[in-house]
Structure 1
């Protein structure tokens, strides 16, 4: 017994010594990791580098960022201030909050900073994408792409968008069970991008298969750039390769069946715009362009659509006030959308609807911010932002801390009304679509889609939350409810626009 006790004590002592060694090794390696990045400060500048933590070697604070969600930015801002350093997605990063700081970054494009997304994003979106372009190439690409979002183009898309939304709401209403709004909104925006914007004639089965691949692509756009079997980065690359093959096939089929269309889609306009600007796009440029269009129309719009529905559920008075505006402007009559009312100019004239969409985008901005690379050392809030570092300006956190907004946590569309106009007090306090020369080109299409969805929702009888409480919201990779938002949509009579009860359904079946 004595020897057995001695052996146990010896084993425990050895284990404790090993644990202490591991802890010391981790502590030393983490300290060296912190010093490694502190040494990158610009020695010619007397200002200190921003405060913050670089996390653990190689992975940095990526795990904290994913697990903490919106709390990551706010907790570090409270501890270190509006400008702090961290290490995310395989690279050092300085995160920036506040209108003046953001203004300096956005207006310093090509002089102080240049766009550079994380490596995983750059690879998966492709070298020919607008997001990855810089300098003259970016300026020329914007000219080519801008025509896709002109007033005339939006007017041509709108009838098709309305049909896709109507068809989707009918499917939601015919489902006897509650639906997952975020998942279904993703399917809706993907369908809109494929069939309306790009004009691809895919069967439902092909569309569903492509949707599944695209989901895998989007899930790994912001992943650690570790190219190993079974890594998210590798899955994203495989998804991109599959998508590129499918898109090339769809583009070639579209060229062969381009006659007899009743409207010009975004791909038609993109090709013609390229020719007008003296650049006939190659097949690779078309594939990268269409993939970027789908990506831009998909995740962020699905996020905002879900947030819009959640706010209608939380604030029925807002929903009813919107219906009053629609009735007052002759768009809604007896619960139905009036013929000929669904036009871009009519929708743009709805001031309260515009306020509702602005407030959704303020409180639930789909993306957290944008990335830039520092071209020359400059100053923010008394700190040096060293040349070569990456900077991320925060959209969501800037909205949350903007002094121009009263009661920032309250959903209040009237803050954008003519009597208050809180967004007019500072140019960079409100920037859901970014700013400067990289302002989102598709912002008018995104707002038009959200307004069309709101109008169609207002023409339905009702929908209600299927859970006891509203779900928590996650900000990564875009804002979305943790359970997707479970909502029951009720069946509608297409003529009367009233709820169909079980009795009425049974009577209809016997006629």
Structure 2
């Protein structure tokens, strides 16, 4: 009898704990987007903010005119101008990785790489390297606390996130003012230039606060998911050396690699990358198996029925990208890393709509998807042509999905340059970047 009583108490305690957890989860789910917004956008911002699918403002949705701005920022012409700068940043990074005597934490270094790309290329800031390193640390603190419980107490994650945001905005304001004062020597228009000019064309002279908000949003958009995908790319090339060799063979065939293995200069253009079919297959397969985010939210515009259940108009629904990829009937052997599934001969993704959606789908598809794919393609080309790398641990780490997909230990890898020059930061690279940002 006593034993049964203890079982009952235990069951009630478990039920109570579950109820508390569910209540907390519901409360958090209602606060997350508000917190994310509060941590990135100042209340004095006057941009029109339409409501998102959860009833809260979503980052980047600042009016129809801003959607037009983003279409310019990620246009074919803009991507063509970003390409040589992205390549320089990646080459610089890989040389630094190869010069390290010890293995590197790929996920952490990929975060630094995507942050540097956003600062140097997208925003065109010429921030000194030492200051850039400090800014990255502050940004990491901001990111680590952006989804904290909205409890504004000393030493809370929320308070740390707000403090990091304030430091970030102060540094960003300094960089913006310096950029606005120095307009000479640029050979391309970066994303911030396009944002400023487009706002003037639409009679929306942006305040400094709005410029800081827009800058932080662009960094946010280019940072976490791209670092996740970059890490997954490197892990899969390590796991599948035959894929890496096939990629190298395609580069040789297209005249991007010399027979000795080093890259030919001046060979990367958008049309060149578009012609690398196997490279495209590799990137697609990485994004199929290792989509950085789980899914997205949408608002039901018209009542419909799904598997016998009626979904009313106005409801908020969440679609799962990973479950879609895992259960889609068009993909064969879904757990196998097989880039050839996207080849012209098989084209598994062409059979039906919305079976493959790493960047979402419909009118709300990711605006920056072309930039993300460009970055991954350039990284893959540089990895194949200028680096040798090997796993520094006995086994590959397991994967966690929160906050974005990444290896639990960050993926420890030792990089080696293919020749002696790969271990040196070429002075013309830094000079070239400084002259164009």
Q: Same fold (TM over 0.5)?
A: yes
Question: Which of 447, 467, 472 does residue 373 from structure 2 map onto?
Answer: 447
Matched residue of 2:379: which SS? helix
Could you tell me how far apart the structure 2 residues matched to 1:200 and 1:429 are?
39
Deviations 1:148-200 (A, max 9, x none): 11111111111111111111111100101000000001001101100111111
Aligned to 1:267: 192
Gaps of 5+ in 2: 424-437
In structure 2, what is the equivalent of residue 336 of structure 1?
262
* Among 59, 68, 76, the residue aligned to 2:24: 59
- Paired with 1:29 and 1:472, the residues of 2 have a C-alpha distance of 29
Deviation for aligned residue 1:23 = 6.6
What is the rounded CA distance, in whole Å, between the counterparts of 1:428 and 1:441 in structure 2?
Answer: 17
Are the counterparts in 2 of residues 89 and 222 from structure 1 also a CA contact under 8 Å? no
Residue-by-residue CA offset, 1:208-235 (whole Å, 9 max, x unaligned):
1110111122223333333333333332
- In structure 2, relative to structure 1, the CA distance for the partners of 1:224 and 1:394 (3 Å cut) is farther
Partner of 1:467: 393
User: Which residue of the partner structure matches residue 435 of structure 2?
Assistant: none
Distance (Å, rounded) in 1 between the aligned partners of 2:387 and 2:266:
21
Shift of 1:380: 3.6
- Which one of 401, 404, 413 corresponds to residue 339 of structure 2? 413
Distance 2:254 2:109 in 1: 30
- Cα contact 2:228–2:405 (8 A) shared by 1: yes
Partner residue, 1:403:
329
1:246 to 156, 168, 171: 171
TM-score norm. by structure 1 comes to 0.74
Task: Determine helix, strand or coil for the equivalent of 2:386.
Answer: coil
Distance 2:161 2:312 in 1: 31
CA positional deviation for 1:88? 7.6
The partner residue of 1:232 within 148, 154, 157 is 157
d(CA) in 1 for partners of 2:401, 2:161: 20
Aligned to 1:110: none
Distance across 2 between alignment mates of 1:478 and 1:134: 17
Correspondence 1:90 to 2:16: no
Question: TM-score of the superposition, structure 2-length normalised?
Answer: 0.85
Determine if the alignment matches structure 1 residue 288 to structure 2 residue 213. yes
- Mark the structure with the bigger radius of gyration: 1
Q: 1:228 to 1:163 in 2, by over 3 A?
A: same
Distance 1:373 1:233 in 2: 28
Which residue matches 1:255?
180
Query: Which residue number in structure 2 is paired with residue 161 of structure 1?
Result: 86
Asked if the contact 1:359/1:412 (under 8 Å) is kept, the reply is yes
* Partner of residue 39, structure 2: 124
The C-alpha deviation readout for 1:476-496, integer Å capped at 9, x for no partner, is 11110011000001144256x
Instruction: Give the one of 250, 271, 279 matched to 1:345.
Output: 271
Matched, 1:173 2:98: yes
In the alignment, what sits opposite 1:392? 318
**Against the structure 1 CA distance between its residues 137 and 242, is the aligned structure 2 distance closer, same or farther, given a 3 Å change threshold?**
closer
Taking the aligned partners of 1:325 and 1:306, their CA distance within structure 2 comes to 22
Tell me which residue corresponds to 1:208: 133
Q: Secondary structure at the match of 1:490?
A: strand
SS in 2 for 1:459: helix
Separation in structure 1 between the aligned mates of residue 27 and residue 294 of structure 2, nearest angstrom: 14
Aligned residue for 1:433? 359
Q: RMSD over aligned Cα, in angstroms?
A: 2.9
Choose which of 346, 355, 367 in structure 1 pairs with 2:281: 355
Distance 1:133 1:140 in 2: 16
Question: Aligned in 2, Cα 1:236/1:380: closer, same or farther, shift over 3 Å?
Answer: farther
CA deviation after TM superposition for structure 1 residue 28, in Å? 6.0
C-alpha distance in structure 2 between counterparts of 1:235 and 1:277, whole Å: 37
Which residues of 2 match residues 187-198 of structure 1 at below 5 A?
187-198=112-123
Cα 1:18–1:374, aligned 2, differ >3 Å: closer, same or farther? farther
Q: What is the distance in 2 between the residues matched to 1:242 and 1:183?
A: 21
**Equivalent residue pairs, number:** 410
Contact 1:178 1:488 in 2 (8 A): yes
- CA deviation vs aligned residue, 1:29-83 (integer Å, no higher than 9, x gap): 86xx5xxxxxxxxxxxxxxxxxxxxx725323xxxxxxxxxxxxxxxxxxxxxxx
CA distance in 1, matches of 2:323, 2:91: 35
Post-superposition shift, 1:343? 1.1
Contact kept? 1:90, 1:225, Cα under 8 Å? no
Among candidates 381, 399, 420, match of residue 307 of structure 2: 381
SS in 1 for 2:116: helix
- Which residue does 1:139 correspond to in 2? 64
1:217 paired to 2:217: no
